[in-house]
Amino acid sequence: MFDATTILAYKGENSAVIGGDGQVTFGDSILKANATKIRTLYKGEILAGFAGSTADAFNLFDMFEEFLTNRKGDLVKSVIDFSKAWRKDKVLRRLEAMMIVLNKEHIFILTGNGDVVEPEDGEIASIGSGGNYAISAARALKRHANMSEEDLVRESLKIAGELCIYTNQNIKILKLEDKA
């Protein structure tokens, strides 16, 4: 896990949501409190979040977007191709970074080690220093509260921000909704 961020994603029945806190740290100092660590990709059909160095995030988001474009938005094929390329690149594979990517059908955690992990439940994933707090809160809220996907992500990240010193409560959320 990486110090300095918390990203939580939830692929629910009505929408796919990703959220992230805004804190950027350098050692034991806060450099910025309102960073954006999540974005939409491929014509707004894919959500992505990043834990690791900010400069690395831009490179990896751009690289992943190219794979999505080449694969016409096919998330499954794109994560496999991207993971292979990330792992083979001598510079990129040394990055201490992780990504979560999702659409309405799939959710994956990606690493420079070549890992492509689809969560066991296929619904909730988290990365970053506060990731375990956020995913624990999300699972509990999913079981015991009747909340929208967006509210569940927001509240879970708030809880993580109360517990993790590298996570704040300046939360940003992106959502893909079903068009019903």
5 a catalytic residue: yes
Instruction: Please identify which of the residues 5, 6, 111, 167 carries the catalytic annotation.
Output: 5
- The H-assigned helical ranges of 19-108 are 54-70, 75-88
Neighbours of 2 (CB within 10 A): 17
Which residues, 6 or more positions from 104, have their beta carbon under 8 angstroms from its beta carbon? Answer: 11, 15, 16, 176, 178
Nearest to 152 by CA among 169, 135, 132: 135
Which are the contacts of 160, defined by CB distance < 8 A and separation ≥ 6? 6, 8, 21, 130, 131, 133, 134, 137, 167
- The residues assigned a catalytic role are 5
